[in-house]
Each structure stands twice: as C-alpha cells, then as structure tokens.
Amino acid sequence: MGFLNAIRSFIVVFNYFCMAFTLLLNIIYIIQLLVSLVRVHKNYDKAFSDDFHSYVDSDNLLPISLIIPAYNEQEHIVQNIRSLMKINYPMYEIIVVNDGSTDKTGELVINAFNMHKIETSIRYQIPTADIEGVYYSRRYPNLLFVQKKNGGKSDALNAGINLSRFPLFTCLDADSRLERDALLRLSMEFIKDSRTVVAGGIVRIANGSKIVDGELKGFTMPKKLIERFQIVEYYRSFLMGRVFWSSTNSLLIVSGAFGLFRKQTVIDIGGYKRNTIGEDMEIIVRIHRYMHKEHKKYRVKFNEFSVCWTQGPMSLKDIRSQRRRWQIGLMDTLISHAPMTLNPFYGFVGLFSMPYNWIFELFGALVETIGYFLIPFTLLMGELNMFFFVMYFLLSVALGVIISEGSLVVEQYTHRAAMTAKQSIAISIYAVLENFGYRQIITLFRMEGIIKYRKLRKTWGKIKRKEFEQ
C-alpha cells in the first residue's frame, strides 16, 4: 500500500511539475516574442536609412569565401554553384569541397566549369583529412573545387577554411539557395559593428516558393501537410528565438545552412569540431567560450532580412531523421560545454542561454513525452480532475497558438513576406493544427534522439529533398 501511495504521490507531483514547466516555458516564449517584435520592427526602420546598396563599392566591405561542403550532391551542386555566381556581392570566391563523394559530384563540377588540377600551397591552419587535388578554371576565377578524402562535414569545412583567401567565410549547404542580396545584407553586420565574429541569416522553407536566381518569384501552398507545418515552425524558430537570443548576444546556434564567420576567430578556436553532427551549434558555443576566456569583446548576430532558402523534408521518415539529428547535436554540444552552464563567468550565455537549452530544448522533450503518457493515465486513475485536464490541455494549445501566430505577425514586420494575405492567413491555420498531432510526433522524434544519443551521435543520415523550381 505504501509503495502504491508513493507512486500515486509521485504522479500527482509530476503532474504539477508538468503544468509549472509548461507555464514557465510559455512565459519565456512570450517574452521572446515581444522582444523580437520590437526589434524586428526597429531593425526594419533602421534598414531604411542604412542604404546597404551603397556599400557595394566600399573598401569596408570584406571579401567572402563561400564554402560548400558536398557529399553525394550530384543533383543540386552544379545548379547551386551557378546560382551563387549570380549573387550581388563585389568580391567573393566559391570553394566547393567534395568530401569523398561516391557519386558523380566531382566529375559534374569539373566538367561543368571546365576546371583543371592546379598545384597550390595549402596553409594547414586546421588539421584535415588528405586533400587529393585542387581544381581551378580561369574562366571562373572565383571558383575553386577541392577533392578530398571523406572526413565528414566539419572536416570539409575546415579544408575549405584552409584554402580560403578571404577574411570572412560562409558555410552553405549544397542544397540551399541564397537570395541575391543576402550576403550584402549579412556582411553589414560586420561593417556596422567591428566586434561581430559571426552573423547568421534567416533560413526559410522553399517548399512551394518559386526561386529563380536567388529571387522569390511566387508562392503556392505546398501540397503536403508536413511542409506547411514546417513553414510555421521555421518562422517561430528564426523570427522569435534567434532574434531574441541575438539581442542578448547569447545566440547559441547559427544555421549550418547559412552563417557568416570571421575566419581568424574560427582558426583561433581550431576550426569545426570533427565527429559531431551538431557542428553548427558546437562552433558557436565554442566561440562564446573562447571569447569569454580571452576577455575579448565580440558579438554573435542574427539578421532577419538576409535570406537563405532551403527545401524542407517532405516525408515523416526524413523529418524524423532530421529532428533526431538536431536533438543529438544539441545534446552533444551541451554535454561538451557543460561547465559553461550556470557559470557567471560566461555572462548571459552561461546564466540563461545554456540552462534554457538544457531545460527546455533538451529535457523539454523528455518532460513533454512523459506528460503525454502520464497525464491521461492519471486521469484514468481518477487522480486528476477532468476539468483541470481539459483546461490544462486547452491552455497549452492556446499558448502554443499565441507563440506561433505571433511569429507570423513578426514575419509581417520584416516586410519580406513571401505570401499574399490570403495565403498568410491560410498558413496561420497550421499554427493551430500543429498542436494536434504534429507537435507530439516531433517531440517523440526528439525524444528518440535523446535515447539513441550514444548510438547515433556520429551518424548524419541522408535526407531526400525536392529540387528547386526553376
């Protein structure tokens, strides 16, 4: 009897804990939302007088190396390089690093751009797997193709850094597309504030959008529900979360699909960490750690007007693989840099950003999953009042809708909305619908990531993505 009572008490306490957890999380989200709303609105006004186009011929505009790590990317790579050659930026080089692809990635690039092998001196400022050859074409002098042994995405990025000539570099996914002015807008973060060491742009879901040469030419609602939910999710993540964290200089992640880095800082910290699948988050956390230790002034920025388009996964299988990977990457990074957590030496990053990620981003999935099973169970046991159960559920959904719908309002304040008013309102219906099934499934995938952390922490997995509409 005593044991049963103990279990019963535990369940009741856990239920209260779940409620308090949900309430606290939503309060944090609402604060993030309000801060983001104000900042985006202000940044838009500020951008009006910035006149970033006038910087095209400025000496202050730093040249950029665009590094594209490619592993079996034969479907996208040539098209992506061609699209990058049309971006609006006065001085940049494209470095494609073929990370031991087993398909025709290398062959296609070499033939498409008439490249030949050159001898070059490589500054191995960061150790990488063997580089087998460097290819160049005089016809495309700002393109370099690097053939290397397979060593993973981080290793490919490090090889690209070693070969890059310019003081800034950006890592791009082979299956993403940059908007024509994206680099110009993002590099303004380095011009306007010389303390900037990293700046991330917004990644938008391209499913349904027609993008030609880096310009959005129209939007039609994607066919699959899963794609529609992702549109809402990305707005929430980028326009609410990242805008807020960057405003406190404690942003812990800059998307691997589009981030601009000061090269010397990345070299100083030893480049991207190998053998991790969350290299994009890990490098940012390590930069925070290094800069604090060295007592250097620095900024990690986010620019909501600088857009990179990416095709979101279209099947539940692919989204499962993606979210599991994200969760494992998050866990890996948090464990690697655990001493920063609650450490006042790291300022806002240590006191707020790291604990937030531990509690809500990592263990949030765990609490939510247990809650999904335990609360109905408690209800069946008669330990929970039906009224409270219904109210708790409705309040959670309502708060979730406030957050998601709020992100769509913030999106309107960027004045770069891809959709018409009707489409925009139609997509906001999914801010409600996502609470009935989609969110729970995603939580389960995240939970799976935590469970399979040890087994899958070095496995990337391949996601099948749609071609960009031309």
Partner 1 sequence: MKVELLSVIGLLLCLLFIGIEYILHYRLAEIQDERTAKAENIRQRLEIHVEGVLYAPTVSSRNAEIEALAAEINGDFEVYEAAIAAICGHKGSKADTDPEAIDDLVAEINEQVDPIGIYAKMLDEGDVYHKGYACRRLSELFAYEYIDKIAELIDDKSRDLAYNAAMALCAFGDSEHVARYLLSIENDRLYSGRIVNEFFAKFKGDRQELAELLFRDCNPYMRDTVIKTLAGYKIDAFRPMYIEGAGGNDHQYKIACVKALAAFGYPEDEQLLQIAAKDKDWVIRSSAVRGLSLLKSPEALATVKHALSDKEWWVRQTAAQAITKMDISPRDLEEILGGYDRFAADAMKNVLYKSVDGP
Residues that bind partner 1 (CB under 8 A): 45-46, 48-51, 57-60, 114-116, 118-121, 123, 136-139, 141, 191, 193-195, 297, 387-388, 391, 394-395, 398-399, 401-402, 405-406, 408-409, 412-413, 415, 417, 419-421, 424-425, 428
Q: Which is nearer to partner 1, 145 or 245 (CB)?
A: 145
CB of 71 to partner 1, least distance (A): 25
Q: Cβ distance 39 to 243 under 8 Å?
A: yes
Q: Which is nearer to partner 1, 377 or 393 (CB)?
A: 393
Q: Which is nearer to partner 1, 416 or 452 (CB)?
A: 416
Beta bridge partners of 215: 212
Q: How far apart, in whole angstroms, are the C-alpha atoms of residue 302 and residue 432?
A: 27
386 CB contacts (<8 Å, ≥6 apart)?
379
Q: Which is nearer to partner 1, 408 or 447 (CB)?
A: 408
Q: How far apart, in whole angstroms, are the C-alpha atoms of residue 254 and residue 36?
A: 17
CB of 469 to partner 1, least distance (A): 20
CB of 419 to partner 1, least distance (A): 8
CB of 147 to partner 1, least distance (A): 15
Strand ranges (E), 124-189: 131-136, 143-148, 168-172, 176-178
CB of 144 to partner 1, least distance (A): 10
What b-and-e string marks burial along 30-60, b requiring 16 or more CB atoms within 10 Å of the CB?
A: eebbebbbebbeebeeebeeeebeebeeeee
Q: Which is nearer to partner 1, 137 or 303 (CB)?
A: 137
Q: Cβ distance 69 to 100 under 8 Å?
A: no
In Å, what is the CA distance from 160 to each residue of 69, 359, 419? Answer: 8, 35, 36
204 CB contacts (<8 Å, ≥6 apart)?
234, 238, 307, 308, 309, 310, 418
Q: Which is nearer to partner 1, 281 or 431 (CB)?
A: 431
What b-and-e string marks burial along 211-226, b requiring 16 or more CB atoms within 10 Å of the CB?
A: beebebeebeebeeeb
CB of 405 to partner 1, least distance (A): 4
Strand ranges (E), 4-152: 64-70, 92-99, 116-118, 131-136, 143-148
Q: How far apart, in whole angstroms, are the C-alpha atoms of residue 365 and residue 81?
A: 38
Residue 174's nearest CA partner among 83, 58, 249, 242 is 83
Q: Which is nearer to partner 1, 103 or 405 (CB)?
A: 405
Q: How many CB atoms lie within 10 A of CB 139?
A: 9
Q: Cβ distance 414 to 43 under 8 Å?
A: no
Residue 349's nearest CA partner among 437, 213, 224, 249 is 249
CB of 247 to partner 1, least distance (A): 17
Query: Measured over all CA atoms, what is the biggest interatomic distance in the chain, rounded to whole angstroms?
Result: 83
Q: Which is nearer to partner 1, 7 or 425 (CB)?
A: 425
Q: Which is nearer to partner 1, 345 or 388 (CB)?
A: 388
Q: Which is nearer to partner 1, 187 or 311 (CB)?
A: 187
CB of 194 to partner 1, least distance (A): 5
CB of 72 to partner 1, least distance (A): 25
CB of 125 to partner 1, least distance (A): 9
